[in-house]
Amino acid sequence: MPQRWERVRQLGKQVGKNIKVFHVEKRLILLDSIRFEINSIKTSFPPGTFVWDFRLAGTDIPFGDVGVVPDERVASYKWEGKLPSRERLEQIARQQSLALNQRPNLGPRLILYLIQWGTPLLLIAIGGYWWWRTRRQ
């Protein structure tokens, strides 16, 4: 479906909720009907709006939690007035996923570790020296 997209709305009412640990909610919803809305978006965005597009994830996102969708199934782009085609979306998602998962080269990685672990270690060393000197005095 290159230019066709169906937004599926599951219409129903919640009949139970079971709270699980660590922000996982399980909801029991009694399904009344399903409505397919062809090529429809809920609102029109102003041009330039930053959009996260989850169409590649399909309609089976568990509990509607977009956080569980793998990176390669999510595309982000700036809104230009119309929805990009599915092929274009897959291309964007693939590029973005590659860029996101690309491990930095050894040099930058070492610098990051140096910042992450080196700065607190340096501060601890300085504090240790001050403590040692204060005790001696």
Partner 1 sequence: MTSAALLLLREGKPIMMINSLLIIDSFLMTGLLSIIGLRLNGLLKPTSEEANWAAWGLTLLVALAAAISVLGRMSPEFVLRTSLWALHNALSPWIWIFAFLMTNLSFTTAKRVRWFHCMAGGSLLGIALLTTMLHASGIKLINYSQVYSFQGYYRPHGILFTPLEAGLVALLSWAWGLGWGVQQGWRRVAGLLLTGLSTAVVYLTFSRSAWLGLSVALLVGFLFARYQKALWVPLWVTLATFLLCSVGLPLGWQRGVYAAQGDPSVQNRLELWMQMPSHLIRYPFGITEVYSDTIEEYMAAGSTVNFYLDIGVQYGILPLVLLLGIVSVLGWRVMKCGKHGMPVGLWGLGVIATVVCLVFMNPIADSLAMALLGGFWGMVSAMEVKPHEPPRLHPD
Binding footprint of partner 1 on the chain (CB under 8 A) = 17, 19, 21-25, 49-50, 52, 76, 99-100, 104, 108, 112-113, 115-117, 119-121, 123-124, 126-127, 130-131, 133-135, 137
With respect to partner 1, which residue has the nearer C-beta, 8 or 126? 126
Per 3-state DSSP, the chain is made up of helix, strand and coil in percentages (nearest 5) of: 45, 25, 30
Q: How far is the CB of 126 from partner 1 (least distance, A)?
A: 7
d(C-alpha 30, C-alpha 24), whole Å: 19
Query: Which C-beta is closer to partner 1: that of 12 or that of 104?
Result: 104
- Identity of the residue, 40 or 117, whose beta carbon is nearer to partner 1 in the bound complex: 117
- The nearer residue to partner 1, 35 or 78, going by C-beta atoms, is 78
Rounded to the nearest 5 degrees, what angle is found at the Cα of 116, between the Cα atoms of 114 and 120? 95
Min dist CB 33 to partner 1, Å, is 26
Q: To the nearest whole angstrom, how small is the minimum distance from the Cβ of residue 19 to partner 1?
A: 5
For residue 7, the SS3 value is strand
CB of 125 to partner 1, least distance (A): 9
Residues 6+ apart with CB under 8 A from 47: 78, 79, 80, 81
Q: How far is the CB of 108 from partner 1 (least distance, A)?
A: 6
Question: Would you give the DSSP letter of residue 51?
Answer: E
In this structure, which amino acid lies at residue 125? A
